[in-house]
Amino acid sequence: MASHRKWSPTGTRIAGIRTPALATAALTSVALLSQTANAAPSADSKPSIEEVEKKVDDLYHQAEAATEKYNATREKTAQQRKRVDSLLDDVAQRTEKLNTARDELGSFAAAQYRTGASAPDTATLLLADNPQDYFDQTQLMSRLTSRQKVAVDDYITEQAATTKKRAEASQSLQTLTTTQSALRTSKADVQRKLAEARDLLSKLTADEKARLAAIEKKRQEAADRKAAELAQQQAAAEKKAQEAAARQQTTTGTTATTGSSATDSSYTAKADKALAFARAQVGKPYVWGATGPGSYDCSGLTQAAWKTAGVDLPRTTWDQVNVGTTVPLSDIKPGDLVFFYDDISHVGLYVGNGMMIHAPKPGAYVREESIFYGGESIIHSVVRPA
């Protein structure tokens, strides 16, 4: 698996650091607030539609980042719960074995009592905190038969193993409790961000909502233009490659080939399966933490799509970005994963012609949309997962 390398498009930079569109918007808002912090309150202190739009976008972005954190924590919780269940089952089985060994020793004690042998020694063993120390300090072992010695050894072994497994189970339960607490925190964080975004939108008048829709329409139109430009660039590059291959065939009588032809064909076949699945999900609602079949979040959709092609992707965007090979945007192919934002909190499945299928955000539905929906600067990287 190739190491992940971030594709860095030209964008706004501050002190040599590329800042995504939302980060730039946040900095602009901070500057505006700083300029007016000391000014007297005006009669109209309501934020502009542009400011509301940027704030809502930022809140949805934060909610999606919190969703990925929730997904990662939930996955960890499930793994830890399996471990706890396994340890508890093991403890139960070992306890049963320990009880059997204790019963066998008890029968020896009863037999010794009936024959007048040293019953108190064996009885004391059954109550001892540390049987091994008891045997080390007495001569009991010398008075036991071979069968009794085996029973004593089994008892000591099972007691030590059971004590160890109980300690492991206790520690795992504590770890699980901590992780479950983190899961609740992540869930609350998502819900808080979404509630804040909904509250902002609910305060808009009908006219303001119309203006907000107009802003969104202009943004989509710009994104569609960028998608068309990318499609044209890729078509031109493909035509150039075909012309070069044709010239070589005319000159040498052989068809120009590359060593990756078989690999490309295999990837295309898998990508077609993933894309067919994704297209069938269009129109289903975005639900954070969902992995289908009725609803999805962004990484849940890409994971489910590629699974139909026999490729198991991890649950979160942060892990999915490290699977496969990072490729430049200019070399993007249908089926590739497109990741967004510096915190890698969103992902979509590329379908070609600058478009992708993705689960956008809460309140929206799985849809096909330009990969430039939020501007070129928020595209983090492109990954070919198989």
* pLDDT tens figures, 238-263: 898 888 888 888 877 665 555 456 67
Of the candidates 4, 61, 346, 380, the residue annotated as catalytic is 346
Mean pLDDT of the chain: 81
Check if 4 is active-site.
no
pLDDT profile of the chain (386 residues), mean per 10:
48 36 40 42 69 93 94 92 88 82 70 52 50 52 62 78 88 91 93 94 94 93 96 91 84 60 85 98 96 97 98 97 96 97 97 97 95 96 96
Comparing CA positions, the residue from 316, 319, 294, 61 lying closest to residue 190 is: 61
Q: How far is CA 322 from CA 95, 139, 207, 216, in A?
A: 44, 63, 45, 32
Helix or strand (DSSP H, E) at 286: none
DSSP character at residue 48: P
CA distance 358 to 250: 44
pLDDT of residue 16: 33
Of the candidates 4, 61, 358, 380, the residue annotated as catalytic is 358
Check if 380 is active-site.
no
Burial class (CB in 10 A: 0-12, 13-18, 19+), 281: buried
Q: How far is CA 244 from CA 255, 256, 304, 331, 337, in A?
A: 10, 8, 39, 18, 29
pLDDT of residue 114: 56
The answer to whether 54 and 32 have CB atoms below 8 angstroms apart is: no
Comparing CA positions, the residue from 285, 85, 63 lying closest to residue 190 is: 63
CA distance 187 to 181: 10
pLDDT of residue 290: 96
DSSP character at residue 330: G
Of the candidates 4, 61, 298, 380, the residue annotated as catalytic is 298
First and final C-alpha spacing in the chain: 9
Check if 298 is active-site.
yes
Q: Which residues contact 357 (CB under 8 A, 6 or more apart)?
A: 275, 278, 279, 281, 282, 301, 348, 349, 351, 366, 367, 368, 369
According to DSSP, the β-strands at 337-340 and 346-352 are antiparallel
Q: How many CB atoms lie within 10 A of CB 140?
A: 18
pLDDT of residue 17: 33
